[in-house]
Amino acid sequence: MPVPQLEPFVRARHAHYDGAYVSSDPAFVHAHVTALGPFLPVASITPEALATVAGIASSTAPFDFILKRVDTFPNGIVHLLPEPAEPFAGLTQRLWDAFPQCPPYAGAFDDVVPHLTLDAVSGEVTEASTTRDVGPGLPARCRAEQLHLAWYEPDACRVLHSWRLTA
């Protein structure tokens, strides 16, 4: 789910860490809340799979959310928590139910927390420094209106498909 309000900050962090993951696709939004990932391998994305996602998107109403609370996962990923989280969690569950072979984050986490990744803790980066740096953009009042199928590949990040939320 793209979050264009925070694109300048998140895109700059991508450029800082690995410019090969900065997309030249104008539809690609680096700042996003993941609905389901990883998804199917690109060669396995069939018209039927796309129609299933289209059906889920068309039965999902657009919704408003706010990003203001910065937090850090135990693995050091600094992120924003959307409020409310429930529409994202519900969408993730519906997608996972439709694609059981694609558990969120490859099943690495027992608790799937909707979030927007900002940075990673390091010698130079802390939750406090990230909060300070992203602070002028917060709170970000957002509206979820689209679902993107984004592909991440060095020098080829792009949007494969996009659906409007229309219920």
What's the pLDDT tens digit per position in 105-135? Answer: 999 999 999 999 999 999 999 999 999 999 9
- How confident is the model at residue 76, as a pLDDT? 98
Nearest to 3 by CA among 25, 45, 35, 38: 35
Range of the domain at 53: 4-164
Say how far apart CA 51 and CA 53 lie, in whole Å.
5
CATH code: domain of residue 129: 3.90.1140.10
Residue whose structure tokens are 């199917």: 40
Cα angle 92, 95, 98 (rounded to 5 degrees) comes to: 150
Structure tokens at 137: 């953009």
What's the pLDDT band for 17 if we cut at 50, 70, 90? very high
91 three-class SS: helix
Q: How many domains does the chain have?
A: 1
Q: What is the pLDDT of residues 136-166, one digit of tens each?
A: 889 999 999 999 999 999 999 999 999 999 9
Contact 81, 17 (CB under 8 A): no
**154 Cβ partners below 8 Å, 6+ apart?**
18, 20, 21
Q: What is the pLDDT of residues 20-60, one digit of tens each?
A: 999 999 999 999 999 999 999 999 999 999 999 999 999 99
